[in-house]
Amino acid sequence: MADNYLEKQYEAYEARKAAWEKERKYGKKHSPAKRPKTEEKSKGSEESSKRSEASLP
């Protein structure tokens, strides 16, 4: 190919690939997973909800 078509396409591919790898490496950080509530906290919340239901007329 006289106009270096394949070389230009390959250079464009390498540029896209480099951008993708950079985004993958330095991209948005994921937030840590939320911890499930412990049994003690959930039991405490259940007791307080029972108390509030008992106080309703």
Q: Which amino acid is at 20?
A: W
5-56 pLDDT, tens digit each = 999 999 999 999 999 999 888 876 666 777 777 776 555 555 565 665 556 5
pLDDT, position 35: 76
What is residue 43's predicted lDDT score, i.e. its pLDDT? 57
Give 3-state DSSP helix, strand, coil % of the chain, rounded to 5.
Answer: 70, 0, 30
Query: What's 56's DSSP letter?
Result: -
Predicted local confidence at residue 10, as pLDDT: 96
Q: What is the dihedral of CA 26, 31, 33, 35, to 10 degrees?
A: 150
Structure tokens at 57: 């007329």
